[in-house]
Amino acid sequence: MAERQPPPPGSPDGPVRRSDDEPDHLVLRSAEQFKALGHPLRHRMVNVLRQRPATLRQLSDALGMSKGTIGYHVRVLREAGLVRLTETRRVRGGTEQYFALASRAFTLHPDAAVGPEFLINAALGEMLPSEPGQPSHTALRHLWLTDEEAQALENRLRALTAEPHPANRAQGAPYGLLISLFRADVPSLPPDDEP
């Protein structure tokens, strides 16, 4: 029977333990992090690892790539601090390693060199064409809001995207949700002249 063990205490890849005061998100700010996430395969690996920790073999099977290729890209993600080793499992002939995301969620640092285009490109890269009968909605809408209204809307959107939603392949399919509230470059018409 296989036996799972966490990495040795004090190792940089020790098990992921969360405390009440530890944030549930990692703030992305370094060029190394964005370069790691900018590769389409590594972006897909991160999405797969959102489901649960996985071995190189499991990632290889899920993504249809060789273990060597997956191992290289896991190493890049680990060096960028986005993925970590969470446990090992002894199996006949060796040891399997389980990898997990370093955090439940990633957010962009306000001063990061990249901005919303990074997220938009990531969303475009994973969008599948909708099939008949499948829910899908993409819209661009412009609103004229006061600062207070914009802040209230931002708070509602943050609350919506912060809700945890575990992966359940048996009961559903993956959907993406890209939400952006931004100041738009839309000129305003002058007041209409009264006749």
Q: Please count the CA atoms within 13 angstroms of the CA of 36 that sit on its side-chain side.
A: 20
Write phi, then psi, for 84 (nearest 5 degrees).
-140, 160
Domain ranges of the chain: 3-126
What's the CA angle centered on 20, arms 11 and 116, to 5 degrees? 85
Q: What is the CATH number of domain 3-126?
A: 1.10.10.10
pLDDT in tens, 127-181: 888 888 888 888 888 899 999 999 999 999 888 877 776 666 677 777 888 888 8
Q: Which alpha helices (DSSP H) does 64-146 contain, by range?
A: 67-79, 116-126
- The model's pLDDT over 92-105, given as tens digits with 9 standing for 90+, comes to 888 899 999 998 77
